[in-house]
Amino acid sequence: MNTKIWLSSPHMSGNEQSYIKEAFDSNWVAPLGPNVNGFENDLQSYLNEDIHVAALASGTSALHLSLILLGVGHGDEVICQSKTFSASANPIVYQGATPVFVDSERETWNMCPIQLDIAIKDRIAKGNKPKAIVAVHLYGMPYKVDEINNIALKYNIPVVEDSAESLGSTYKGKNCGTFGDFSILSFNGNKIITTSGGGALVTKTQKQKEQAVFLATQARDNAPHYLHSQIGYNYRMSNIVAGIGRGQMTILDSHVAKRRSNHEFYVNAFKNNTKITFLNEPEGYFSNRWLSCILLDSESTREGLRLALEKENIESRPLWKPMHQQPVFKDAPSYLNGVSDELFEKGLCLPSGSNLTDIELNRVVSAINTYFVS
Ligand SMILES: Cc1ncc(COP(=O)(O)O)c(C=O)c1O
């Protein structure tokens, strides 16, 4: 059997262990310490904006804290892109609020501004103005930032930018992860850089960062004993994990370049296959191409191809199943136009890691070509 080709596996730079060793040598093993500050500073200077970064245990915890800081609570409604990973929506429910799902448009596969406007108007008419909008840059492709922000401004609703998949992407020359009232990043094992597991909250002010860190460290009031006047969380990143992040930051740009070249490789390889199409970058959009995705002509072609790749020990995965189709969210209000359903039926993510060799990429292409001639 051929060795397994993964969708997106961790890719270390070789620098990570020196940061971890330093943490061991100085006994900064317990939470917080120089690597946490160093990783936050690295992210802050990479994003190159007037922002502040709190390193956390996961992207999900960053989303949760952003909703808490926005005052989302029981009985509130929060708009969320339907086509996404469940982690974008789950924290809405943690807060006792209801997600309201909004469908995608075809140019970026992200939140459709037309449906968003319809949804907000309708929720206001029903007497429940949404408390926040969670918009997601899927697979590294920026959402329509200007359009979404203009609508958010028009109704005065804050945006939580889910940038879990888009560190290294830009929109009109500005970095993803800087567009929301709050933005989140993920360093989960399959992301463009990984800390094994981890995330970050990006805030506009130092005060918001301090509030997030306070909540993320069990909301300990300033006293010699343990004193709490609020419910807190154990959401902070550890100094060991942040050491991996510091090592990963040294190769982020080369990971983006490699993932983009994987995508180009597939585009070239299948340019004469009329059954395969790709998502192009609109003018002004720069995607990190976290995952290379293709659209097939039907659900049966997509599933047939997925199974054919599996037989060759090649991992691939259908595009995210929209949240409005998930059993757990079956009662949530949704504003739909059919786009995310169709993308789910016809879309497949191909192996996309920055550690893929030419031999592996060629194996994927020949397995796909064989499927289409058989
Ligand atoms: C779009 C999106 N949002 C949120 C998350 C959650 O991040 P984490 O796994 O770090 O909690 C992920 C990835 O896992 C994601 O892909």
The mean pLDDT of 284-298, rounded to a whole number, is 98
CATH 3.40.640.10 location in the chain: 16-249
Give the span between the Cα atoms of 278 and 266, in whole angstroms.
Answer: 9
221-257: pLDDT as tens digits: 999 999 999 999 999 999 999 999 999 999 999 999 9
- Distance from Cα 137 to the centre of ligand 1, integer Å: 11
Give the span between the Cα atoms of 110 and 144, in whole angstroms.
Answer: 8
Percent of the chain with pLDDT over 70: 100
Residue 32: which pLDDT band, with cuts at 50, 70 and 90? confident
78-136: pLDDT as tens digits: 999 999 999 999 999 999 999 999 999 999 999 999 999 999 999 999 999 999 999 99
The mean pLDDT of 183-204, rounded to a whole number, is 96
Give the span between the Cα atoms of 194 and 198, in whole angstroms.
Answer: 7
Q: Examine the pLDDT at 372 and tell me if it is beyond 90.
A: yes
Q: Which atom of ligand 1 is nearest to the CA of 61?
A: 11
pLDDT averaged over every residue in the chain: 96
- For residue 263, the SS3 value is helix
The size of the chain, in residues, is 374
What pLDDT does residue 13 have? 86
For ligand 1, whether the C-beta of 58 sits within 6 Å is yes
H or E element in which residue 184 lies:
strand 182-186
Full-model pTM: 0.97
- Distance from Cα 74 to the centre of ligand 1, integer Å: 23
Residue 4: which pLDDT band, with cuts at 50, 70 and 90? very high
- For residue 146, the SS3 value is helix
Residue 1: which pLDDT band, with cuts at 50, 70 and 90? confident
Instruction: Point out the least confidently predicted range of 12-21, 55-64, 301-310, 344-353.
Output: 12-21
Q: 48, 37, 36: which is closest to 178 by C-alpha?
A: 48
Q: Which atom of ligand 1 is nearest to the CA of 197?
A: 10
Q: Examine the pLDDT at 362 and tell me if it is beyond 70.
A: yes
Residue to probe by mutation, ligand 1, list 7, 90, 187, 188, most atoms within 8 Å of CB: 188
252-373 falls under which CATH superfamily?
A: Aspartate Aminotransferase, domain 1 (3.90.1150.10)
- Which class is domain 16-249? alpha beta
For ligand 1, whether the C-beta of 87 sits within 6 Å is yes
Strands 199-203 and 182-186 come out as antiparallel
For ligand 1, whether the C-beta of 81 sits within 6 Å is no
Residue 31: which pLDDT band, with cuts at 50, 70 and 90? low
- Do 58 and 234 form a contact (C-beta atoms < 8 A)? no
Q: Which atom of ligand 1 is nearest to the CA of 186?
A: 10
Give the span between the Cα atoms of 217 and 54, in whole angstroms.
Answer: 12
